[in-house]
Amino acid sequence: MLTFRALRAVPRAVTNWAGITGRDSRPVARILVYHGTPSREAASFERQLRWLKRRFDIVPLRAIANAAANGGTLGDKVALTFDDGLRSNVEVAYPLLHRLALPATFYVCPGLVDRAKWLWTHETRRRLARLSPAARAELAREWAASADSNEFVAWMKTLDSATRRRVEQRVQEATPQFTPTPEERDDYDLADWKALRRLDPSIITIGSHTLTHPILPGVPAAELEAEVRDSRRQLERSLERPVDSFAYPNGDLDAAADACVRRHYRVALRASGGCVKRGVDLHRLPRIAAPRGVLQLARRIYS
């Protein structure tokens, strides 16, 4: 639903998209977050990158973190980040980033790379989509949850890790014949270690996205430490690169997760929150979710 604020932002978005106005003079930086970049969206994604390169100074994430912490210039700076370590980021996004000389950070879950598994959120949604409406409703009734696939997964994100795994197992039992389609694999397969090692470190920085992508609030202390600390260790060991930044799955944290991440990383990112201003907490850096389309991106950046 269009709101008055959204309608009011359209003319400014159009003029900025078209390059009619000058560069944004506000003393803020932006960190954009992408997830999958499947091949069918490559042309649209390339148009976004080319527009961003014309309009902003695309810099590594550390440049924004350093400027925010040390009083440097933030205006005009944009950092590109990609969550989940998806194969499409390596096969589609990376060649474009390399060709355009645009730095970015890929956030990876090494425990899932080891097992060639999808994120549990992706797999659960696609398994639920295989069920008939009646079968999905029956499964939802077992847990007093919504039968809508997206709402069901959103509810699962609120569960403690042990209960969430029990629900996952029940969904798997209800879909024993599940086999991903080629399009689903294009969307949700993870990059393997061989592909990640080939990424040019002058273009791509690697960050941690936990070991296995749990939603961290409520995760038991020992499991939390392993997910946060061991993901960094495994990435550094497997890729022989330093890893000093972390992206929260779903952007969610509580006091325990916040304290754990601060012990092991210099920088941590949320999933939302708008622009980066001087003096921001480097362990709660806000990001802007990148939509599809250049005009939609312009509207979101300048809103």
Question: Residue 25 pLDDT more than 60?
Answer: no
How large is the angle between the packed helices 161-174 and 120-130, nearest 10 degrees? 30
Give residue 27's pLDDT: 84
Question: Residue 5 pLDDT more than 80?
Answer: no
Dist CA 295 CA 141 (whole Å): 42
Give residue 21's pLDDT: 45
- Range of the structural domain that residue 166 is part of: 120-179
Question: Residue 18 pLDDT more than 90?
Answer: no
- Looking at the fold, whether 89 and 172 belong to one and the same domain comes out as no
- Looking at the fold, whether 41 and 103 belong to one and the same domain comes out as yes
What would the mean pLDDT of 227-232 be, rounded to a whole number?
A: 98
- Looking at the fold, whether 154 and 112 belong to one and the same domain comes out as no
Number of domains observed in the structure of the chain: 2
| pLDDT tens digits, 233-283 | 999 999 999 999 999 999 999 999 999 999 999 999 998 888 999 999 999
Residue count of the chain: 303
| pLDDT tens digits, 168-180 | 999 999 999 999 9
Encoded amino acid at 45, one letter: F
Dist CA 285 CA 66 (whole Å): 12
> What is the reported pTM?
0.90
Q: Of 179, 202, 224, which closes a domain?
A: 179
Q: Using CB atoms within 10 A of its CB, is residue 227 exposed (0-12), middle (13-18) or buried (19+)?
A: buried
Dist CA 46 CA 93 (whole Å): 8
Dist CA 280 CA 58 (whole Å): 19
Encoded amino acid at 81, one letter: T
Q: Of 179, 198, 215, which closes a domain?
A: 179
Q: Of 179, 196, 229, which closes a domain?
A: 179
Give residue 271's pLDDT: 85
Nearest to 240 by CA among 275, 271, 199, 281: 199
- 171 to 94, 145, 204, 217, 291: CA distances (angstroms): 34, 13, 36, 23, 30
- Looking at the fold, whether 105 and 230 belong to one and the same domain comes out as yes
Give residue 128's pLDDT: 96
pLDDT > 70 fraction of the chain, expressed in percent and rounded: 91
